[in-house]
Structure 1
Amino acid sequence: MRKTLMGLGAALCLQGAMAQEVAHVAAEPAGLKPWSANVNGRVAKQPDGSLLRQWPGTYFETGFNGDEVYFRVGPGDVSLRLSVDGEAAIPLVKPAPGLYRVSHFKRSGTHRLRVAVASESQSGPTAFGGFFAAAGTEPVALPGRSRQIEFIGDSHTVGYGNTSTVRQCTPAEVWATTDTSQGVGALVAAHYDADYQVNAISGRGVVRNYDGFAADTLPQAYPFALFDRSQPADPPGWGPQVIAVSLGTNDFSTPLRAGEPWATREQLREAYEAAFVRFAEQLHRRHPGAYIVLWIAAPDGSEVQTEVARVVEQARRSGIARIGFVPVPGLGMAGCDWHPSVADDRRIADALARHLDGQQNIWPAGRH
């Protein structure tokens, strides 16, 4: 049975074979020792050592020997998923800021703890305060995975409302049913035992956001660690072998409004193609050895599917040889607001994996 931990002063246990517990700690134990974590995702380090993050899907991992481990949550509404040793994740929804203890593990010995962000945070960043060990718990260094995949996109990459059982959702229900840790990026990364980043924002396009609303497009926001453009994104050690991009749904899903820069759909299509090719070229220069795959979840013959295919053709002509196209039609779109459900996310992930498995020399040789 799964329960959800919300707020202050609560504890959660998973019953049966796994009985791990997560509990908010009112009084901090003496002698806690901080240690570094493996950080996957874009973060901005604060003077107090905490990490601000805003792009979805950020996750933090640590290894340790012992019976308990602690982590600190900072301000900001966030939905977290905690997993120990690869077991089923525990939801931690809108936790109060403070210290949390993880204990009562299924087995003894060396453990691996992952704290993953499941929710989207467009309105503002949230903070993670790091991991801590009490007396009797010793940190264990975790080697980084040699395989890395970057996912870039919009709500389809975020996992917008993907766990919802209905299509009609309030904004609060969208937030509560969005789970990036069950989305396309997490599924593909798990298939390849890869680390991953999800650099996606719901509602954003290449040149035009959903219904023409004013905000940075995804290529405009992409260079930065936070959405306020206060700090460039430059994660240490990040060199993905695969970059999977899905953009265009928001550019084309609504009619043009009066006053937008494009008088006709043809002008919009031309601007989209030119800007998307430039963005692909930027990604190629940033990671010249990476294989780039553009995918789109849309019906066969749709405007957006045709446009993404044209971008791939133009990118090849511009000199990007290692680029592919994966259309994914026929999805149920049973998530909030006719978005992909977790079942659709699995179909998209399977399509991407089949495509990547057919490519040559993507992954580094040896251990992964």
Structure 2
Amino acid sequence: MLSSDLESLYLNGRWSVQDSCLCASAPAVSVAFKAVTGEVTFDIEGEARFLFEVDGKPSKYFTVNARKKQKLATPKDNKPHAYRLIKVSESNPGKFCIYDIDLGKKGSFAEKPKSSNRRIEFIGDSFTVGYGVEAKGPEDGTPFEKTNASKSYAFLLAEGFKADYQVNAVSGRGLVRNYANIVPEWTLETLYDYTMMGVPEQDPATERWDFDKFHPQVVVVFVGINDFQGEPPYADAAQYKAAYAKLLDRLRSLHPGVKFLLVSTKTWPNDALTPVVEEIYKEQVAAGHTDLLYKLVYTENTALHGHPSEMSQKELANTLRPLVGRLGGWLSR
């Protein structure tokens, strides 16, 4: 059973560790382990797409729509190899659960992967999720088929810095106002407190996240596209600024010494987001805060439903990398 294997597994992202399973909903959550085995079988329930990696390289994508046992081939050289399962789709709403990781009769777990001394959190929306990134045009496929969180700027940055990470992002949600005012009671401001942000609108009593489980050194905040884009009325600027400042102060309290990168981009139709985020940054600096940087970014939104393409996500990661490195003190010398 999975419970006996937990000490061998290394988790990234917010996970609900239960008696019989591991459950999560965030994009890019991953479970990593080392093992000597000729096969790996995951017993998974939920609707999600996954990438299975062997020794840091993509091995196979697979999809789960209900409960399924997915058997995957591994090197048969009787040597330990590194394995990682990454959730590349989004659960919005929803979750998935892993009930078992079976290595076969002769398989065995090896030494648990080591944690990184670098930790990054990303707070955002569909741009951070990697929504529709694999689409070759605005109407090419569905979000479930074309979203790939392992190709988002967030995952690419975490990988580039070899950092532990959380991608706390939900498509269509704003900090205080969601796109087209969908499910208005479930904004990022509200969802952020939950372990599985895809679950509360189905089950408001679901587990709250324990912030002591992960203390980021850098938080990339890229929120507000849905607050100020599409059909009006948009978010009230004063309410948005107050919620943003409250979030920063709360994170400072939860994670002493944390640094922030505030990110903005052009929104349609009247580019209302950037002036507000610039004001927030200037007000933070005027208040004496020296723990944050600001960056305006531009993306080529040629993928699904006007979202960044694979190339644009790579360029976004490259643009933000030196700023994240500066904040984390991770720049190579």
Q: TM-score with structure 2 length normalisation? A: 0.88
What amino acid sits opposite 2:263 in the alignment?
A: W
In the alignment, which of 42, 52, 59 is matched to residue 14 of structure 2? 42
Q: Residue by residue, what CA displacement relative to the aligned partner does 1:192-232 show, whole Å, maximum 9, x if unpaired?
A: 01121110111111111112222411111101112314211
Q: Which residue of 2 aligns with 1:161?
A: 132
Aligned pairs for 1:193-204 within 5 A:
193-204=162-173
Aligned pairs for 1:123-142 within 5 A:
123-140=93-110, 141-142=112-113
Q: Distance in 2 between matches of 1:32 and 1:224?
A: 23
Q: Distance in 1 between matches of 2:123 and 2:145?
A: 22
- Is 2:86 aligned against 1:116? yes
SS of residue matched to 2:274: helix
Q: CA deviation at 1:162?
A: 0.9
- Is 2:312 aligned against 1:336? no
SS of residue matched to 1:315: helix
Give RMSD over aligned pairs.
2.6
Q: CA deviation at 1:270?
A: 1.7
Q: Which residue of 1 aligns with 2:281?
A: 312
Q: CA deviation at 1:179?
A: 0.5
In the alignment, which of 265, 277, 301 is matched to residue 245 of structure 2? 277
Distance 1:236 1:84, change over 3 A: farther
CA contact (8 A) 1:34 1:131 kept: no
Q: CA deviation at 1:32?
A: 9.8
303-312 vs 337-346, which deviates more?
A: 303-312
CA contact (8 A) 1:277 1:314 kept: no
CA contact (8 A) 2:2 2:100 kept: no
CA contact (8 A) 2:174 2:226 kept: yes
What amino acid sits opposite 2:277 in the alignment?
A: V
SS of residue matched to 2:58: coil
Runs of 5+ consecutive residues of structure 2 not aligned to the other structure? none
SS of residue matched to 1:196: strand
* Number of residue pairs matched by the alignment: 321
In the alignment, which of 217, 238, 253 is matched to residue 214 of structure 2? 238
Q: CA deviation at 1:236?
A: 6.0
Q: CA deviation at 1:142?
A: 1.4
What amino acid sits opposite 1:195 in the alignment?
A: D
Q: Residue by residue, what CA displacement relative to the aligned partner does 1:310-358 show, whole Å, maximum 9, x if unpaired?
A: 11222334453211111112x2201111111111111111111022234
- Is 2:48 aligned against 1:78? yes
Q: Distance in 2 between matches of 1:294 and 1:242?
A: 11
CA contact (8 A) 2:228 2:267 kept: no
Q: Residue by residue, what CA displacement relative to the aligned partner does 1:244-282 show, whole Å, maximum 9, x if unpaired?
A: 11111111113434xxxxxxx7x8112211111111111
Q: CA deviation at 1:169?
A: 5.2
- Is 2:324 aligned against 1:356? yes
SS of residue matched to 1:164: coil
Aligned pairs for 1:175-194 within 5 A:
175-194=144-163
Q: Distance in 2 between matches of 1:180 and 1:154?
A: 12
Q: Distance in 1 between matches of 2:237 and 2:3?
A: 55
Q: Distance in 2 between matches of 1:291 and 1:101?
A: 41
SS of residue matched to 1:112: strand
Distance 1:271 1:95, change over 3 A: closer
Q: CA deviation at 1:299?
A: 7.1
Q: Which residue of 2 aligns with 1:61?
A: 32
Larger-Rg structure: 1
CA contact (8 A) 1:79 1:93 kept: yes
What amino acid sits opposite 2:52 in the alignment?
A: L
SS of residue matched to 1:175: helix
- Is 2:219 aligned against 1:216? no
Q: Residue by residue, what CA displacement relative to the aligned partner does 1:126-165 show, whole Å, maximum 9, x if unpaired?
A: 1122423333322122111221111110111111111101
Q: Which residue of 1 aligns with 2:258?
A: 290
Distance 1:235 1:282, change over 3 A: closer
- Is 2:223 aligned against 1:252? no
Q: TM-score with structure 1 length normalisation? A: 0.80
Q: Which residue of 2 aligns with 1:92?
A: 62
Identity of aligned residues (%): 26
Q: Distance in 2 between matches of 1:98 and 1:318?
A: 53
Q: CA deviation at 1:106?
A: 7.5
